[in-house]
Amino acid sequence: MIPAVDYLGLRESFRWRVPARLNLGVACADDHPAAKVALVRVDASGARHEYTFGELADLSGRLAGSLAERGVGPGDRVAIVAPQSVETGLTHLAVWKLGAVSLPLASLFGPDALAYRLEDSGATLAITSPDNVDKVREAAPGLPLVVTGPDGDFDRLLSGPVVDPVPTAADDPAYLIYTSGTTGPPKGALHAHRSLIGHLPGFECYYEFADHAPEGRYDRAVLPHVGLPAPASGDLIWTPADWAWIGGLMDVLIPAWYFGMPVLTAEGDFDPAWAADLIAEHRITLAFLPPTALKMMRRDGVRLDGASLRAVFTGGEALGAEVLAWGTDALGARINEGYGQTECNLVVGNCSSVWPVRPGSMGRPIPGHQVAVLDEDGRRLVGEEGEICVRGPDPVMMLRYWNRPEATDEKYRDGWLLTGDLGVEDEDGYLWFRSRKDDVIISRGYRIGPGEIEESLMSHPAVAMCAVVGAPDELRGEVPVAFVVLKPGHRRSLALALELQDHVRTRLAAHEVPRQVTFVDDLPRTTTGKIMRRALREP
């Protein structure tokens, strides 16, 4: 008989078990049975291709050997500018085996966004897909490139000599992911190999492993001693989220591989009907679907009656009671919301088979993580609004901001990481998001900082001053909108508004393009000259 699992029992019996040495390249490939399927690729024609953990282990080892011959060593940053692909996964594994640091960068970034991150990180090499080559070359002339695809040189690197993996410590750096730049320029959050261990409780809860455990790795997981069921096989996990986003990389790909679970990647832009067919045809059981994807599926009347899907994780913005109820019915799966940041991910959420969901709330602190709402003096608040904070030390927390010791210090207070988000904790420990201290815009699950968009607009010769805020949007949650003061000699027009949108589109990313440009005579400011974005958001 399997002992009952309950929330308080999980929290009280939880103990972190972080090994002294851990290398993600080894743990997520080499440590699994060679014949076990690791990756399922569905190409543009719908054909299915499978790759085993043995292939991942061998090919990533050879890629590591080739990269070492090109001078990549411990601590070096290797940029990955490519969409979901076998090559992207292999590159992360190979870089980690060398003790180097992977730098995932989204394909939707324009040359300005890439240039800042490549220069700030000090990347020594970039591995890029063919459609990103021109942008990377414009962003970082002279940076050595390895190009994937039939005309690139990536495949030749897979025949290199296999090298012994570096025996990295759990606290050694593994990956560097940049924040959205909500307060000033984007900051690089540097994470250690042990960050994976910190993600596992959330991964297990969101995907309902208390109800249906994955096969294989509970000897090294973090919740095996609280009465979880016997491991079961058959899970296949998928997300449309880019693996360059911490949500795609660390909420799906890397924890799944650590558990020996196959991951599906599919070529093609997200479409609700396409997603439903993909889930049904390939018997996908677990999915990370951002709220925008769920809202699109609801809009198009998608139903998955009799499909294999059993658990869906969503996060990045509040889903809402109506969409949550629809999803549970139409998808036939448990839906669990979660919360985290690039600096400290998967720390709050739900596991609906263990504790009841309260629609509209963020959920409860995930076992292993201490999360509270604090006032400015560090006192815990219940029933009152304050800042959502996470207690350290915690293995999921970043090591530091890259090259920004002052910003790192400002992120912490008395051992608590300050999220910058305001919320309320109720008497049962559920957290309710209220607003953001730093004016971040959350659109389709992406956290967008207004500063980077404003800087791009200011580079246009017609713009004298501007401010960007978030406006409510039924499908995306929020969208960026811009208020622009023109320089003398420039006239307001629809053509100019479209030109400014295109200017941002070609320099940054598609989701950062203002959906509306409003020309104004001046911007509201405080007595100290700061722009009052709150006044711009008011109807």
State the DSSP string of 398-467: -SEETT-HHHHHHHEETTEEEEEEEEEE-TTS-EEEEEETT--EEETTEEE-HHHHHHHHHTSTTEEEEE
The SS3 call for residue 248 is helix
Return the CATH number of the domain spanning residue range 441-537: 3.30.300.30
* pTM for this predicted structure: 0.84
Task: Report how far apart, in Å, the C-alpha atoms of 266 and of each of 85, 107, 237, 289, 292 are.
Answer: 8, 16, 12, 14, 18
The answer to whether residues 168 and 192 touch, using CB atoms and an 8 Å cutoff, is no
What pLDDT score was predicted for residue 406?
Answer: 96
The answer to whether residues 180 and 202 touch, using CB atoms and an 8 Å cutoff, is no
User: Which residues lie closer than 8 Å to 277 by C-beta, 6 or more apart?
Assistant: none
Whether 55-192 and 441-537 share one fold: the answer is no
Per-residue pLDDT of the chain (539 residues; tens, 9 = 90+): 233 468 888 888 888 889 999 999 999 999 999 999 999 999 999 999 999 999 999 999 999 999 999 999 999 999 999 999 999 999 999 999 999 999 999 998 999 999 999 999 999 999 999 999 999 999 999 999 999 999 999 999 999 999 999 999 999 999 999 987 545 578 999 999 999 999 999 998 999 886 555 444 433 333 432 333 333 568 999 999 999 999 999 999 999 999 889 999 999 889 999 999 999 999 999 999 988 888 889 888 899 987 789 999 998 777 777 888 899 999 999 999 999 999 999 999 999 988 999 988 999 999 999 999 999 999 999 999 899 999 999 999 999 999 999 999 999 999 999 999 888 999 999 999 876 776 778 888 887 878 789 889 988 999 988 889 999 998 888 999 999 999 989 999 999 999 999 999 999 988 999 999 999 998 887 544 567 777 888 76
What pLDDT score was predicted for residue 362?
Answer: 93
Domain assignments of the chain as residue spans, ordered by start: 55-192, 441-537
CATH number of the domain at 55-192, out of 3.30.420.10, 3.40.50.980, 3.30.70.360, 1.10.260.40?
A: 3.40.50.980
Nearest by Cα to 238 from 275, 273, 201:
275
Owner of token pair 């910003």: 407
- Tokens encoding 513: 């393009």
What pLDDT score was predicted for residue 241?
Answer: 92
Residue 520 CA to residue 485 CA, distance in Å, equals 5
Residue 234 CA to residue 399 CA, distance in Å, equals 35
What pLDDT score was predicted for residue 222?
Answer: 38
- Reported as half-sphere exposure (CB side, CA atoms, 13 A), residue 464 has a value of 13
What pLDDT score was predicted for residue 278?
Answer: 96
Tell how strand 125-128 and strand 145-147 pair up.
Answer: parallel
- Tokens encoding 374: 């604090």
Position 498, amino acid = L
Nearest by Cα to 202 from 324, 284, 311:
311
Position 357, amino acid = V
What pLDDT score was predicted for residue 95?
Answer: 98
